[in-house]
Chain A
């Protein structure tokens, strides 16, 4: 079975501070991991995926297979980063269905 855990339901930081949203997963094979973001009253949108090894809007995430983690990081948070963030895993199951974590609401204060 595959599982994604986001231990923090709420996370608050001040503008300019570093932020880290935690994500741990459980999966026996080689997973593909994603971070999706949902801004207020907007649809869920892809932020980044581990296979791309990219940085989007200043966010990065590194897959740590030893710790089974895929934490999302940004060195200097901005107010516009306030949103709901979901970590998701696509395992080797048919059709690539995603398993989502419970989500973390990030609030960046001015």
Chain B
């Protein structure tokens, strides 16, 4: 149980284009999902907290207009990297908390974004 999927697992795009990453909770409902960024051999950096039916809460230093988050249902959150640039290349990971309670987060497998 508690499986989180991400799609795509990897994506390559040209500079200036937008990329959408999906995060789904497969066997539970998630009122709250989280988006992280991970650099090679480094820890996870929280980008934003995604709440179903309301606006996302962004961490300090994360550009809201660049990283658009939509949490339209209890099982799906999307992260759109707009006007991507090479410096946006990274590993993006989502996690989800079960709506039934508890603070445990279940993580997706991550999405490798490469911007050329």
* Interface positions of A (Cβ within 8 A of B): 32, 34, 36, 42-46, 49, 86, 90, 94-103, 105
Q: Total number of A-B contacts with CB less than 8 angstroms?
A: 48
Q: Are A100 and B43 in contact (CB under 8 A)?
A: yes
Summarize B's interface: helix, strand, loop or mixed. strand
A94 surroundings in chain B (CB, below 8 A)? 57
A49 surroundings in chain B (CB, below 8 A)? 104
Q: Residue on A with the closest CB to B109? A: A43
Give A39 to B42 CA distance when docked, in angstroms.
14
- The verdict on A96 contacting B42 (CB below 8 Å), with A43-B107, A43-B108 known, is no
B interface size (C-beta, 8 A): 21
- The verdict on A45 contacting B49 (CB below 8 Å), with A86-B43, A100-B43, A103-B43 known, is no
Report if B97 contacts A (CB, 8 A). Answer: yes
Q: Residue on B with the closest CB to A86? A: B43
Q: Are A97 and B51 in contact (CB under 8 A)?
A: no
Q: Are A44 and B34 in contact (CB under 8 A)?
A: no
Give A46 to B103 CA distance when docked, in angstroms.
12
A42 surroundings in chain B (CB, below 8 A)? 109
Q: Are A46 and B44 in contact (CB under 8 A)?
A: no
Q: Are A97 and B49 in contact (CB under 8 A)?
A: yes
Q: Are A34 and B32 in contact (CB under 8 A)?
A: no
Chain B residues numbered 1-58 whose CB sits less than 8 Å from any CB in chain A: 32, 34, 41-44, 46, 49, 51, 57
